Protein backbone atom coordinates (compact mmCIF):
# COMPACT_ATOMS: atom_id res chain seq x y z
CA UNK A 1 0.00 0.00 0.00
CA UNK A 2 1.48 3.34 -1.01
CA UNK A 3 1.10 6.41 1.13
CA UNK A 4 0.73 9.81 -0.46
CA UNK A 5 -0.47 13.11 0.91
CA UNK A 6 -4.02 14.28 0.21
CA UNK A 7 -2.65 17.35 -1.57
CA UNK A 8 -1.68 15.48 -4.69
CA UNK A 9 -5.19 14.46 -5.71
CA UNK A 10 -7.18 16.12 -8.46
CA UNK A 11 -10.53 15.02 -7.08
CA UNK A 12 -11.66 17.65 -4.64
CA UNK A 13 -13.17 20.90 -5.84
CA UNK A 14 -11.36 20.76 -9.17
CA UNK A 15 -14.45 20.07 -11.22
CA UNK A 16 -12.25 17.53 -12.96
CA UNK A 17 -13.02 14.21 -11.35
CA UNK A 18 -10.29 11.68 -11.87
CA UNK A 19 -11.82 8.95 -9.79
CA UNK A 20 -9.79 6.09 -11.21
CA UNK A 21 -6.54 8.03 -10.70
CA UNK A 22 -7.50 8.73 -7.11
CA UNK A 23 -8.42 5.07 -6.56
CA UNK A 24 -5.13 3.87 -8.04
CA UNK A 25 -3.15 6.38 -6.00
CA UNK A 26 -4.51 5.04 -2.73
CA UNK A 27 -5.07 1.41 -3.78
CA UNK A 28 -8.87 1.33 -3.63
CA UNK A 29 -10.59 -1.85 -4.69
CA UNK A 30 -14.12 -0.88 -5.61
CA UNK A 31 -16.61 1.96 -5.85
CA UNK A 32 -20.28 1.03 -6.20
CA UNK A 33 -22.98 3.48 -7.28
CA UNK A 34 -26.40 2.48 -5.98
CA UNK A 35 -29.47 4.05 -7.62
CA UNK A 36 -33.10 3.11 -7.06
CA UNK A 37 -35.34 5.90 -8.30
CA UNK A 38 -38.48 4.15 -6.98
CA UNK A 39 -37.38 4.78 -3.40
CA UNK A 40 -35.09 7.78 -4.03
CA UNK A 41 -31.87 5.93 -3.23
CA UNK A 42 -28.63 7.61 -4.35
CA UNK A 43 -25.77 6.00 -2.51
CA UNK A 44 -22.11 5.18 -2.97
CA UNK A 45 -20.30 2.26 -1.39
CA UNK A 46 -16.52 2.57 -1.30
CA UNK A 47 -14.41 -0.48 -0.55
CA UNK A 48 -10.84 0.49 0.11
CA UNK A 49 -9.06 -2.72 1.07
CA UNK A 50 -10.15 -6.25 1.95
CA UNK A 51 -6.70 -7.79 2.42
CA UNK A 52 -7.33 -8.44 6.12
CA UNK A 53 -11.04 -9.24 5.84
CA UNK A 54 -14.41 -7.82 4.81
CA UNK A 55 -14.61 -4.04 4.57
CA UNK A 56 -16.49 -2.76 7.60
CA UNK A 57 -17.72 0.81 7.81
CA UNK A 58 -20.67 3.02 8.59
CA UNK A 59 -23.52 3.95 6.27
CA UNK A 60 -23.72 7.74 6.51
CA UNK A 61 -26.63 9.91 5.31
CA UNK A 62 -25.86 13.51 4.47
CA UNK A 63 -27.21 16.14 2.04
CA UNK A 64 -23.98 16.42 0.04
CA UNK A 65 -23.78 19.53 -2.13
CA UNK A 66 -22.37 17.54 -5.05
CA UNK A 67 -21.74 13.99 -6.19
CA UNK A 68 -18.06 14.82 -6.16
CA UNK A 69 -18.19 15.68 -2.45
CA UNK A 70 -20.09 12.46 -1.70
CA UNK A 71 -17.63 10.29 -3.64
CA UNK A 72 -14.62 11.90 -1.98
CA UNK A 73 -16.14 11.49 1.47
CA UNK A 74 -16.93 7.81 0.82
CA UNK A 75 -13.40 7.18 -0.47
CA UNK A 76 -11.61 9.00 2.34
CA UNK A 77 -13.73 7.48 5.09
CA UNK A 78 -13.32 3.97 3.66
CA UNK A 79 -9.53 4.32 3.69
CA UNK A 80 -9.59 5.62 7.26
CA UNK A 81 -11.51 2.49 8.25
CA UNK A 82 -8.81 0.28 6.67
CA UNK A 83 -6.17 1.98 8.81
CA UNK A 84 -8.26 1.89 11.98
CA UNK A 85 -9.07 -1.82 11.74
CA UNK A 86 -5.59 -2.81 10.66
CA UNK A 87 -3.83 -0.94 13.48
CA UNK A 88 -6.32 -2.39 15.97
CA UNK A 89 -5.24 -5.88 14.86
CA UNK A 90 -8.69 -6.74 13.48
CA UNK A 91 -9.28 -9.06 10.57
CA UNK A 92 -11.34 -6.45 8.80
CA UNK A 93 -10.84 -4.12 5.87
CA UNK A 94 -12.14 -0.63 5.28
CA UNK A 95 -15.32 0.50 3.59
CA UNK A 96 -17.98 3.18 3.81
CA UNK A 97 -21.40 3.98 2.41
CA UNK A 98 -22.65 7.49 1.84
CA UNK A 99 -26.32 8.04 1.10
CA UNK A 100 -26.97 11.39 -0.54
CA UNK A 101 -30.08 12.73 1.15
CA UNK A 102 -31.71 14.75 3.85
CA UNK A 103 -32.38 12.66 6.95
CA UNK A 104 -35.49 14.72 7.77
CA UNK A 105 -37.17 14.14 4.40
CA UNK A 106 -35.61 11.31 2.46
CA UNK A 107 -35.54 8.37 4.89
CA UNK A 108 -37.90 5.44 4.25
CA UNK A 109 -38.06 1.73 4.91
CA UNK A 110 -37.87 1.15 1.15
CA UNK A 111 -34.70 3.21 0.80
CA UNK A 112 -32.81 1.22 3.44
CA UNK A 113 -34.16 -2.12 2.20
CA UNK A 114 -32.99 -1.19 -1.27
CA UNK A 115 -29.54 -0.31 0.10
CA UNK A 116 -29.61 -3.68 1.88
CA UNK A 117 -30.07 -5.42 -1.47
CA UNK A 118 -27.06 -3.61 -2.93
CA UNK A 119 -25.00 -4.61 0.14
CA UNK A 120 -26.19 -8.22 -0.25
CA UNK A 121 -25.06 -8.19 -3.89
CA UNK A 122 -21.48 -7.60 -2.67
CA UNK A 123 -21.53 -11.06 -1.05
CA UNK A 124 -19.95 -10.01 2.24
CA UNK A 125 -17.15 -7.87 0.84
CA UNK A 126 -18.71 -4.94 2.72
CA UNK A 127 -20.45 -4.89 6.12
CA UNK A 128 -22.50 -1.83 7.08
CA UNK A 129 -23.09 -0.25 10.45
CA UNK A 130 -24.76 2.96 11.64
CA UNK A 131 -23.06 6.31 11.22
CA UNK A 132 -23.80 10.01 11.05
CA UNK A 133 -27.45 10.43 10.02
CA UNK A 134 -28.43 6.77 10.34
CA UNK A 135 -29.85 4.86 13.29
CA UNK A 136 -30.40 1.39 14.68
CA UNK A 137 -33.86 1.23 13.06
CA UNK A 138 -32.33 2.03 9.64
CA UNK A 139 -29.93 -0.89 10.17
CA UNK A 140 -32.93 -3.11 10.98
CA UNK A 141 -34.42 -2.29 7.56
CA UNK A 142 -31.10 -3.16 5.89
CA UNK A 143 -31.06 -6.42 7.89
CA UNK A 144 -34.35 -7.43 6.21
CA UNK A 145 -32.36 -7.83 2.98
CA UNK A 146 -28.88 -8.85 4.10
CA UNK A 147 -26.97 -10.32 7.01
CA UNK A 148 -24.00 -8.05 6.21
CA UNK A 149 -25.00 -5.36 8.67
CA UNK A 150 -24.21 -4.65 12.34
CA UNK A 151 -25.27 -1.99 14.83
CA UNK A 152 -28.61 -3.73 15.41
CA UNK A 153 -30.70 -3.61 18.63
CA UNK A 154 -29.18 -5.13 21.77
CA UNK A 155 -32.10 -7.57 21.93
CA UNK A 156 -30.95 -8.96 18.57
CA UNK A 157 -27.62 -9.94 20.13
CA UNK A 158 -25.92 -6.83 18.87
CA UNK A 159 -23.31 -4.66 20.57
CA UNK A 160 -25.50 -1.53 20.89
CA UNK A 161 -24.21 2.05 21.18
CA UNK A 162 -20.44 2.00 20.49
CA UNK A 163 -19.72 5.24 22.42
CA UNK A 164 -19.04 3.68 25.86
CA UNK A 165 -16.44 1.33 24.31
CA UNK A 166 -14.96 4.14 22.25
CA UNK A 167 -14.46 6.16 25.45
CA UNK A 168 -13.10 3.15 27.32
CA UNK A 169 -10.45 2.79 24.61
CA UNK A 170 -9.59 6.50 24.69
CA UNK A 171 -9.17 6.26 28.46
CA UNK A 172 -6.68 3.38 28.08
CA UNK A 173 -4.83 5.18 25.29
CA UNK A 174 -4.62 8.29 27.45
CA UNK A 175 -3.14 6.26 30.30
CA UNK A 176 -0.47 4.83 27.99
CA UNK A 177 0.45 8.38 26.95
CA UNK A 178 0.59 9.49 30.60
CA UNK A 179 2.99 6.61 31.30
CA UNK A 180 5.26 7.73 28.46
CA UNK A 181 5.26 11.40 29.47
CA UNK A 182 4.90 11.43 33.25
CA UNK A 183 6.36 8.01 34.11
CA UNK A 184 3.07 6.79 35.63
CA UNK A 185 -0.19 5.91 33.96
CA UNK A 186 -2.25 7.20 36.86
CA UNK A 187 -4.42 10.14 35.89
CA UNK A 188 -5.00 11.13 39.50
CA UNK A 189 -4.58 14.89 39.89
CA UNK A 190 -4.01 15.36 36.15
CA UNK A 191 -5.91 18.13 34.38
CA UNK A 192 -7.72 17.00 31.26
CA UNK A 193 -9.28 19.58 28.91
CA UNK A 194 -12.17 17.98 27.01
CA UNK A 195 -13.50 19.59 23.84
CA UNK A 196 -17.04 18.31 23.28
CA UNK A 197 -19.14 16.75 26.00
CA UNK A 198 -21.37 14.55 23.83
CA UNK A 199 -21.54 10.75 23.89
CA UNK A 200 -17.79 10.13 23.77
CA UNK A 201 -16.77 13.07 26.01
CA UNK A 202 -19.28 12.24 28.74
CA UNK A 203 -18.47 8.51 28.87
CA UNK A 204 -14.78 9.42 29.01
CA UNK A 205 -15.54 11.70 31.97
CA UNK A 206 -16.83 8.72 33.98
CA UNK A 207 -13.40 7.07 33.75
CA UNK A 208 -11.56 10.29 34.48
CA UNK A 209 -13.69 10.97 37.54
CA UNK A 210 -12.98 7.43 38.77
CA UNK A 211 -9.23 8.13 38.46
CA UNK A 212 -9.48 11.47 40.25
CA UNK A 213 -8.56 13.67 37.29
CA UNK A 214 -9.66 17.30 37.13
CA UNK A 215 -11.71 18.15 34.06
CA UNK A 216 -11.99 21.38 32.05
CA UNK A 217 -14.85 21.12 29.57
CA UNK A 218 -15.89 23.17 26.54
CA UNK A 219 -19.04 22.59 24.49
CA UNK A 220 -21.24 24.79 22.34
CA UNK A 221 -24.27 23.16 23.93
CA UNK A 222 -25.23 24.75 27.26
CA UNK A 223 -27.01 21.58 28.44
CA UNK A 224 -23.87 19.52 27.92
CA UNK A 225 -21.83 22.00 29.96
CA UNK A 226 -24.42 22.00 32.73
CA UNK A 227 -24.17 18.21 32.92
CA UNK A 228 -20.37 18.30 32.98
CA UNK A 229 -20.37 20.76 35.85
CA UNK A 230 -23.19 19.24 37.91
CA UNK A 231 -22.47 15.53 37.42
CA UNK A 232 -18.70 15.56 37.08
CA UNK A 233 -17.57 18.70 38.91
CA UNK A 234 -15.88 19.93 35.70
CA UNK A 235 -14.75 23.51 35.19
CA UNK A 236 -16.51 25.13 32.21
CA UNK A 237 -14.32 26.73 29.54
CA UNK A 238 -15.42 28.89 26.60
CA UNK A 239 -15.25 26.93 23.31
CA UNK A 240 -12.59 29.17 21.76
CA UNK A 241 -10.44 29.13 24.92
CA UNK A 242 -10.10 25.36 25.22
CA UNK A 243 -6.92 25.32 23.08
CA UNK A 244 -4.99 27.66 25.34
CA UNK A 245 -5.92 26.45 28.82
CA UNK A 246 -3.21 25.13 31.13
CA UNK A 247 -3.68 21.37 31.25
CA UNK A 248 -1.78 18.07 31.13
CA UNK A 249 -3.93 16.47 28.44
CA UNK A 250 -6.04 18.00 25.70
CA UNK A 251 -8.81 15.65 24.62
CA UNK A 252 -10.60 16.60 21.37
CA UNK A 253 -13.98 14.83 21.41
CA UNK A 254 -16.01 16.98 19.04
CA UNK A 255 -14.66 18.01 15.65
CA UNK A 256 -12.02 17.03 13.12
CA UNK A 257 -9.28 19.31 11.79
CA UNK A 258 -8.81 21.15 15.09
CA UNK A 259 -5.06 20.48 15.38
CA UNK A 260 -3.73 22.96 12.86
CA UNK A 261 -1.44 25.93 12.26
CA UNK A 262 -3.70 28.23 14.29
CA UNK A 263 -4.25 25.99 17.31
CA UNK A 264 -0.86 24.29 17.77
CA UNK A 265 0.96 27.47 18.89
CA UNK A 266 -1.75 27.96 21.55
CA UNK A 267 -1.57 24.47 23.09
CA UNK A 268 -0.08 24.25 26.61
CA UNK A 269 -0.70 20.53 27.15
CA UNK A 270 1.86 17.68 27.14
CA UNK A 271 -0.49 15.17 25.50
CA UNK A 272 -3.27 15.27 22.88
CA UNK A 273 -5.53 12.24 23.28
CA UNK A 274 -9.17 12.32 22.26
CA UNK A 275 -11.89 10.59 20.30
CA UNK A 276 -12.64 12.95 17.41
CA UNK A 277 -11.94 11.59 13.94
CA UNK A 278 -9.36 13.25 11.68
CA UNK A 279 -7.99 15.61 14.34
CA UNK A 280 -4.97 16.73 12.33
CA UNK A 281 -5.66 19.47 9.78
CA UNK A 282 -2.85 17.98 7.70
CA UNK A 283 -0.32 15.19 8.15
CA UNK A 284 2.44 17.77 8.82
CA UNK A 285 0.59 18.92 11.96
CA UNK A 286 1.51 15.61 13.59
CA UNK A 287 5.15 16.59 13.03
CA UNK A 288 4.51 20.06 14.49
CA UNK A 289 3.11 18.53 17.68
CA UNK A 290 6.17 16.33 17.98
CA UNK A 291 8.49 19.33 17.47
CA UNK A 292 6.62 21.16 20.22
CA UNK A 293 7.20 18.23 22.59
CA UNK A 294 3.51 17.25 22.70
CA UNK A 295 2.72 13.55 22.52
CA UNK A 296 -0.12 12.92 20.08
CA UNK A 297 -2.18 9.74 20.46
CA UNK A 298 -3.25 9.18 16.82
CA UNK A 299 -7.03 9.44 16.59
CA UNK A 300 -7.71 6.22 14.70
CA UNK A 301 -5.62 4.27 17.22
CA UNK A 302 -7.30 5.50 20.38
CA UNK A 303 -10.86 5.85 19.09
CA UNK A 304 -10.97 2.29 17.70
CA UNK A 305 -12.99 0.97 20.66
CA UNK A 306 -16.26 1.22 18.72
CA UNK A 307 -15.04 -0.81 15.75
CA UNK A 308 -13.34 -3.35 18.03
CA UNK A 309 -16.68 -3.75 19.82
CA UNK A 310 -18.48 -4.34 16.51
CA UNK A 311 -15.86 -6.86 15.41
CA UNK A 312 -16.72 -8.93 18.48
CA UNK A 313 -20.38 -8.81 17.42
CA UNK A 314 -19.47 -10.52 14.15
CA UNK A 315 -18.52 -13.72 15.98
CA UNK A 316 -21.23 -13.58 18.70
CA UNK A 317 -21.23 -10.62 21.03
CA UNK A 318 -19.62 -10.92 24.46
CA UNK A 319 -19.18 -7.71 26.42
CA UNK A 320 -16.27 -8.99 28.57
CA UNK A 321 -14.33 -10.08 25.51
CA UNK A 322 -15.03 -6.70 23.91
CA UNK A 323 -13.77 -4.80 26.97
CA UNK A 324 -10.59 -6.91 27.11
CA UNK A 325 -9.89 -6.27 23.44
CA UNK A 326 -10.64 -2.55 23.72
CA UNK A 327 -8.31 -2.22 26.71
CA UNK A 328 -5.52 -3.48 24.39
CA UNK A 329 -5.50 0.03 22.91
CA UNK A 330 -3.13 0.80 25.81
CA UNK A 331 -0.52 -1.53 24.28
CA UNK A 332 -1.21 -0.38 20.73
CA UNK A 333 -0.47 3.20 21.81
CA UNK A 334 2.74 1.99 23.49
CA UNK A 335 3.69 0.24 20.24
CA UNK A 336 3.07 3.42 18.23
CA UNK A 337 5.18 5.50 20.63
CA UNK A 338 8.03 2.97 20.46
CA UNK A 339 7.87 2.86 16.65
CA UNK A 340 7.88 6.65 16.44
CA UNK A 341 11.00 6.74 18.62
CA UNK A 342 12.88 4.02 16.76
CA UNK A 343 12.05 5.42 13.31
CA UNK A 344 12.44 9.05 14.42
CA UNK A 345 9.03 9.96 13.05
CA UNK A 346 5.89 11.47 14.56
CA UNK A 347 3.36 9.22 16.25
CA UNK A 348 0.90 10.11 13.48
CA UNK A 349 3.27 8.71 10.85
CA UNK A 350 4.10 5.73 13.08
CA UNK A 351 0.39 4.87 13.35
CA UNK A 352 0.04 4.93 9.55
CA UNK A 353 3.11 2.71 9.27
CA UNK A 354 1.75 0.23 11.81
CA UNK A 355 -1.49 -0.03 9.82
CA UNK A 356 0.07 -0.31 6.37
CA UNK A 357 2.87 -2.69 7.41
CA UNK A 358 0.34 -5.22 8.71
CA UNK A 359 -1.53 -5.18 5.41
CA UNK A 360 1.70 -5.46 3.39
CA UNK A 361 2.78 -8.43 5.50
CA UNK A 362 -0.41 -10.32 4.69
CA UNK A 363 -0.12 -9.41 1.00
CA UNK A 364 3.45 -10.70 0.97
CA UNK A 365 2.40 -14.04 2.47
CA UNK A 366 -0.35 -14.33 -0.16
CA UNK A 367 2.09 -13.65 -2.97
CA UNK A 368 4.36 -16.40 -1.64
CA UNK A 369 1.44 -18.87 -1.58
CA UNK A 370 0.38 -17.88 -5.08
CA UNK A 371 3.90 -18.67 -6.38
CA UNK A 372 3.86 -22.17 -4.86
P1 LIG B 1 -21.78 13.81 19.82
O2 LIG B 1 -22.52 14.51 18.74
O3 LIG B 1 -22.52 12.99 20.81
O4 LIG B 1 -20.91 14.88 20.66
C5 LIG B 1 -20.20 15.93 20.09
C6 LIG B 1 -20.24 17.10 21.08
O7 LIG B 1 -19.37 18.11 20.60
C8 LIG B 1 -21.63 17.73 21.21
O9 LIG B 1 -21.99 17.86 22.57
C10 LIG B 1 -21.46 19.09 20.51
O11 LIG B 1 -22.29 20.09 21.09
C12 LIG B 1 -19.99 19.36 20.78
N13 LIG B 1 -19.40 20.34 19.88
C14 LIG B 1 -19.64 20.55 18.56
N15 LIG B 1 -18.89 21.57 18.10
C16 LIG B 1 -18.15 21.99 19.14
C17 LIG B 1 -17.17 23.02 19.30
N18 LIG B 1 -16.81 23.83 18.30
N19 LIG B 1 -16.59 23.18 20.53
C20 LIG B 1 -16.94 22.41 21.57
N21 LIG B 1 -17.88 21.41 21.47
C22 LIG B 1 -18.47 21.23 20.27
O23 LIG B 1 -20.66 12.95 19.08
P24 LIG B 1 -19.81 11.75 19.69
O25 LIG B 1 -20.45 10.47 19.32
O26 LIG B 1 -19.49 12.05 21.10
O27 LIG B 1 -18.48 11.85 18.79
C28 LIG B 1 -17.51 12.83 19.05
C29 LIG B 1 -16.35 12.66 18.06
O30 LIG B 1 -15.79 11.35 18.21
C31 LIG B 1 -16.73 12.80 16.59
O32 LIG B 1 -15.63 13.35 15.89
C33 LIG B 1 -16.91 11.35 16.15
O34 LIG B 1 -16.72 11.19 14.76
C35 LIG B 1 -15.81 10.68 16.94
N36 LIG B 1 -16.02 9.25 17.16
C37 LIG B 1 -17.12 8.81 17.83
C38 LIG B 1 -17.29 7.45 18.05
C39 LIG B 1 -18.47 6.94 18.82
O40 LIG B 1 -18.47 5.75 19.19
N41 LIG B 1 -19.48 7.75 19.12
C42 LIG B 1 -16.34 6.53 17.57
C43 LIG B 1 -15.20 7.01 16.90
C44 LIG B 1 -15.06 8.38 16.70
The CA-based angle 188-194-200, given to 5 degrees, is: 100
- pLDDT at position 156 is 87
CA-proximal residue: ligand 1, atom 8 (nearest)? 198
Closest alpha carbon to 191 in 215, 208, 209, 210 = 215
| Ligand 1-lining residues (CB < 6 angstroms) | 162-163, 166, 195-201, 218-221, 224, 239, 253-256, 275-277, 303, 306
- pLDDT at position 365 is 85
pLDDT digits (tens, 9 = 90+) for 282-324: 989 999 999 999 999 999 999 999 999 999 988 889 999 999 9
Q: What does the alpha-carbon distance between residue 197 and residue 230 come to, in Å, rounded to a whole number?
A: 13
Q: Which of 7, 18, 96, 364 is catalytic?
A: 96
| Secondary element (H or E) of residue 218 | strand 214-218
Q: What does the alpha-carbon distance between residue 237 and residue 109 come to, in Å, rounded to a whole number?
A: 42
Q: Active site includes 96?
A: yes
The minimum-distance atom of ligand 1 relative to the CA of 258 is 18
Q: What does the alpha-carbon distance between residue 122 and residue 324 come to, in Å, rounded to a whole number?
A: 32
Q: What does the alpha-carbon distance between residue 326 and residue 275 come to, in Å, rounded to a whole number?
A: 14
Q: Is residue 5 over pLDDT 50?
A: no
| Maximum average pLDDT range among 1-5, 22-26, 150-154, 185-189 | 185-189
Q: Residue 111 CA to chain centroid, in angstroms?
A: 26
Q: Is residue 33 over pLDDT 90?
A: yes
- pLDDT at position 3 is 44
CA-proximal residue: ligand 1, atom 33 (nearest)? 276
- Best of 199, 227, 302, 308 for a ligand 1 pocket test (most atoms within 8 Å of beta carbon): 199
- pLDDT at position 158 is 87
pTM above 0.85, yes or no: yes
The minimum-distance atom of ligand 1 relative to the CA of 165 is 40
Longest Cα–Cα distance of the chain, Å, equals 65
Q: What does the alpha-carbon distance between residue 139 and residue 143 come to, in Å, rounded to a whole number?
A: 6
- Best of 205, 253, 278 for a ligand 1 pocket test (most atoms within 8 Å of beta carbon): 253
CA of 276 to the centre of ligand 1 (A): 6
Amino acid sequence: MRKKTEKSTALEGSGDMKIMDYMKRYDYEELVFCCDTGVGLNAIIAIHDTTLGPALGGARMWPYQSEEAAILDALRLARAMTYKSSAAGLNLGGGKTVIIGDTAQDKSTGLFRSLGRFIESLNGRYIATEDLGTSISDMQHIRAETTYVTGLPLAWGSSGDPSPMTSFGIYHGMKACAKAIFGSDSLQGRTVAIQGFGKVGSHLARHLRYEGAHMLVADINEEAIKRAVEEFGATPIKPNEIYSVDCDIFSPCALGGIINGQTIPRLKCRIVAGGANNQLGEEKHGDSLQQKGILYAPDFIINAGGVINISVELTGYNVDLARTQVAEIYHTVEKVIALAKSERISTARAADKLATDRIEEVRKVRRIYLKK
